[in-house]
């Protein structure tokens, strides 16, 4: 589906990204090949009480996607469909890790479609090696100074070390 006004296919990859993981990054790389342009849209929602501020989350995504010229990092608050209308984009990309993701994702996709019937959600299946991976799991390991080097890009690993310094 082409976004008529742009003439190119643009999709939004929305999420909390607190912080971005190798699982997210894999979806970003693959989606950036499918769509002409991919906007990674970070939810600015203080009620979720994120570990990383919006600015930190966006900066980390910017750093780890600097080799992808057709990926843009942006933020949104409130309803995703409102942001998409503003940007004139109607495609959403979401990653599916396991069957357990499906119910929530179906609910979200159906809600977004109900709110704006021009909005379509495309699912990409995560690589099996990332099927258990989530930002929450990464934070849990990092909080207790466990190894996260295989789970997140080096920039994020460093940022986590600063959030959870080892006390002497």
Q: Does 31 bind ligand PNS (CB under 6 A)?
A: no
Residue 94, annotated as binding a ligand:
yes
Smallest CA-to-CA distance from 166 within 149, 142, 150, 148 is with: 142
Q: Does 32 bind ligand PNS (CB under 6 A)?
A: no
The pairing of beta strand 10-15 with beta strand 91-96: parallel
How many chain residues bind ligand PNS (CB under 6 A)? 9
Q: How far, in Å, CA of 94 to CA of 71, rounded?
A: 15
Exactly one of 57, 97, 126, 139 is catalytic; name it: 97
Convert 80-118 to b/e letters by CB count within 10 Å (16 or more is b).
bbebbeebebbbbbbbebeeebeeebeeebeebeeeeee
Catalytic-residue membership of 110: no
Q: Does 108 bind ligand PNS (CB under 6 A)?
A: yes
Which of 21, 65, 90, 112 binds ligand PNS (CB under 6 A)? It is 112
Exactly one of 24, 57, 126, 139 is catalytic; name it: 24
Q: Does 15 bind ligand PNS (CB under 6 A)?
A: yes
Q: Are 25 and 153 in contact (CB under 8 A)?
A: yes
Exactly one of 57, 126, 135, 139 is catalytic; name it: 135
Which of 34, 79, 98, 106 binds ligand PNS (CB under 6 A)? It is 79
The pairing of beta strand 91-96 with beta strand 120-125: parallel
How far the first Cα of the chain sits from its last, in Å, is 56
Binding-site residue set: 16-17, 24, 48, 80, 94-97, 105, 130-136
Write out the catalytic residue numbers.
Answer: 24, 48, 97, 135
| Residues contributing to the site for ligand PNS (CB under 6 A) | 14-16, 43, 79-80, 108, 111-112
């Amino acid at each position: 589906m082409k976004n008529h006004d742009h003439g190119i296919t643009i999709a939004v990859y929305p999420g909390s990204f607190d912080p971005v993981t190798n699982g997210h990054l894999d979806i970003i790389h693959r989606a950036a090949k499918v769509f002409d342009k991919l906007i990674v849209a970070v939810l600015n929602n203080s009620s979720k009480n994120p570990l990383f501020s919006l600015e930190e989350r966006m900066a980390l995504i910017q750093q780890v996607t600097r080799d992808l010229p057709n990926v843009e990092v942006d933020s949104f608050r409130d309803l995703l469909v409102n942001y998409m209308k503003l940007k004139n984009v109607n495609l959403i990309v979401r990653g599916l890790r396991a069957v357990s993701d499906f119910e929530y994702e179906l609910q979200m996709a159906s809600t977004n479609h109900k709110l704006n019937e021009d909005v379509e959600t495309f699912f990409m299946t995560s690589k099996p090696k990332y099927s258990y991976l989530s930002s929450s799991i990464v934070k849990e390991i990092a909080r207790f100074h466990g190894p996260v080097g295989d789970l997140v890009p080096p920039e994020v690993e460093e940022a986590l070390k600063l959030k959870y310094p080892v006390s002497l």
